[in-house]
Amino acid sequence: MTAIPKIAPELAAHIVDPVVYGNWRALLDTFATLRRESPVAVAEIPGYRPFWVITRHADILKISKDNATFLNNPATVVVAPLMAEMFVAHLMKGSPHLVKSLVQMDAPEHPKYRRLTQDWFMPANLKTIESNIRAIAKSAIDKMLSMDGTCDFARDVAAMYPLHVVMELLGVPESDEPLMLKLTQELFGGQDPDLNRMRAANISPQEATELMAQTVADFNAYFEALAQDRRANPRNDLATIIATGTIDGMPIPDYESAGYYTIVATAGHDTTSASTAGAMWALAQDPAQFAKVKADRSLLPGLIEEAIRWTTPVQHFMRTVGADTEVGGVPMKAGDWLMLCYVSGNYDESVFPDPERFDAGRSPNRHVSFGSGAHQCLGLHLARLEMKILFEELLDRVDSVELAGEPKRSQSTFVGGPKTLPLRFVAA
């Protein structure tokens, strides 16, 4: 009988430590070691169920495309300690999910829900709102330029611009955008002392989960009221599509409706914010590359893909093995839990030469940040368009940028990216 490959305890601990994700350097070193020595292996961490850790690009792609064997719904899709899993199951009366959105669904349920809004995020529809997006981008750069040569780009520009775009699509009034930003940061930054609901350091994973449950309850209450309004007063927005949508001829249940709103409202902007800030972080460290992209806008699509790879806002997802199988020659059993380490896949040396170098001209750039298969990111076309338009406006109106302090990444194992990015810039 073949022995199950296991990860050294000190490396396994890094995989669930939000401080290591904020540090980044230690995280990249951990994943490089695992790719080299234990690309498919089990992490046994005190307080957690054992789970497989998948670190190579090829294996992540294989699993992502095989949605029949590797499932989203049976267990939480975000790594969590056993006590947190038990808390959620108790709170949600047996469900492993605080939120049930597209991310927590499998076929045949998943494609039915995805089809409800899919057309809104396709290039043909986005073309009709491109002028609105450009106006929002111009306003974001206006704000930046009003700051007398210094700003925190992550907070002042990158956080607010895609938030405004998505809230317009969804139909959330601009006056409620600060609330949406606050709740999103609490949900995705629940482990970070600067972002969690209590703004507290050293909270336990269980406490973080309990705080996230409170945040989810606030989202649910907000979107229940929004849905009621749209049923009574339909508009041409995503809120109306979800509020009035049907699955198999029946209205969407409240649990799934709330989850749909929440995933659009949160993932629809926070990941784009992170990639936008990541691009600016890289360019601020490389004046020659900034000048090169400013002079040659044909490099913008490459800049965007590289920013999404280099930043990797969605850092992992969990899957449950649905039937006995193997990955990388290693056998797995039905019911096993595994982690897709997107950061590791995006820094895999066998696919991305010199992966820590930011290169707007990198081609091909087959990053795994948007996932693959049935669960490929619904908003990928919107994210690319938003970033393209913002950088077109910025490069027209800014001559140079440089760091004005030490940027910081959020301390989060799930969704992460720059939370502060102090810049000095010279307006054109």
Q: What percent of the chain has pLDDT over 90?
A: 91
Q: What per-residue confidence (pLDDT) applies to 141?
A: 98
Q: What per-residue confidence (pLDDT) applies to 53?
A: 98
Q: What per-residue confidence (pLDDT) applies to 110?
A: 97
Tokens 């990860």, residue located: 7
**Averaged pLDDT for residues 157-168:** 95
Tokens 């080299």, residue located: 36
Those residues with Cβ within 8 angstroms of residue 260's Cβ, 6 or more apart along the chain or in another chain: 101, 102, 113, 116, 117, 242, 252
The upper half-sphere exposure of residue 157, i.e. CA atoms within 13 Å in the direction of its Cβ, equals 31
Task: Give the pLDDT band of residue 1 (cuts 50, 70, 90).
Answer: low
Q: What per-residue confidence (pLDDT) applies to 199?
A: 83
pLDDT in tens, 304-322: 999 999 999 999 999 999 9
What pTM value is reported for the model?
0.96
Tokens 């982690």, residue located: 339
Instruction: Round to whole Å and give the CA distance between 351 and 23.
Output: 24
Task: Give the pLDDT band of residue 420 (cuts 50, 70, 90).
Answer: very high
Instruction: Round to whole Å and give the CA distance between 259 and 116.
Output: 14
Instruction: Round to whole Å and give the CA distance between 258 and 185.
Output: 18
Residue 33: Cβ within 10 Å count: 15
Name which of 69, 75, 62 is nearest 103 in CA terms.
75
What is the phi/psi pair of residue 328, to 5°? 60, 30
Task: Give the pLDDT band of residue 189 (cuts 50, 70, 90).
Answer: confident
pLDDT in tens, 342-385: 999 999 999 999 999 999 999 999 999 999 999 999 999 999 99
Q: What per-residue confidence (pLDDT) applies to 205?
A: 76
Per residue, the 3-state secondary structure of the chain, as one string, reads CCCCCECCHHHHHHHCCHHHHHHCHHHHHHHHHHHHHCCEEEECCCCCCCEEEECCHHHHHHHHHCCCCEECCCCCCCCCCHHHHHHHHHHCCCCCCCCCCHHHCCCCHHHHHHHHHHHHHCHHHHHHHHHHHHHHHHHHHHHHHCCCCEEEHHHHHHCHHHHHHHHHHHCCCHHHHHHHHHHHHHHHCCCCCCCCCCCCCCCCHHHHHHHHHHHHHHHHHHHHHHHHHHHHCCCCCHHHHHHHCEECCEECCHHHHHHHHHHHHHHHHHHHHHHHHHHHHHHHCCHHHHHHHHHCHHHHHHHHHHHHHHHCCECEEEEEECCCEEECCEEECCCCEEEEEHHHHHCCCCCCCCCCCCCCCCCCCCCCCCCCHHHCCCCHHHHHHHHHHHHHHHHHHEEEEEECCCCEECCCCCECCEEECEEEEEEC
Instruction: Round to whole Å and give the CA distance between 242 and 263.
Output: 12
Cα angle for residues 175, 215, 416 (degrees, 5° grid): 90
pLDDT at residue 67 greater than cutoff 80: yes
